[in-house]
Amino acid sequence: MSSILAEAVTQLAYDPGVSPAEGGLPGLSVLKQVVSSINLFAVIATVGALCVAGIVWAWGHHTGSHGAEAKGKQGALVAAGVALLLGAANGLVSFFSTLGTQVK
């Protein structure tokens, strides 16, 4: 029984030696450009969403429509959060990737 358990633990502790390596597949530079373009598109869309949310917020405030004002505030906060995530995407992925390499 203990030898089966020891073998299972040994297999769980096996390091396959896989790590990210640049240049392993063709098209990596194209993929980076595509992802960068998607990120730029998302940033531009977020700016537009923030403008629309600001307009709805102001319209709701000036017309006395509390529901529209609340939705405008909500939209502005969501757009700000999306902008934060888009700007921090590289740093977040890098941080958690580095953190993941430290798991033993």
One DSSP character per residue, 19-77 reads ---TTSSTTHHHHHHHHHHHHHHHHHHHHHHHHHHHHHHHHHHHHT-HHHHHHHHHHHH
d(CA 98, CA 89): 14
Q: Is residue 41 part of a domain?
A: yes
Q: What is the pLDDT of residue 44?
A: 97
Asked if residue 21 belongs to a domain, the reply is: no
Domain contains 70: yes
Tell me how many domains the chain contains: 1
- Residue-level pLDDT at 96: 93
CB 57 within 8 A of CB 73: yes
Structural domain contains residue 10: no
Task: With respect to residue 15, please indicate whether it lies within any of the assigned structural domains.
Answer: no
List of the chain residues with pLDDT < 70: 1-2, 5-15
Range of the structural domain that residue 48 is part of: 29-101
Position 2 in a domain: no
Does the residue 24 lie in any domain? Answer: no
Residue pair 31/24 in contact by the 8 Å Cβ criterion: no
In a domain, 13, yes or no: no
Q: Give the pLDDT confidence score for residue 84 in this predicted structure.
A: 96
Tell whether pTM > 0.85. Answer: no
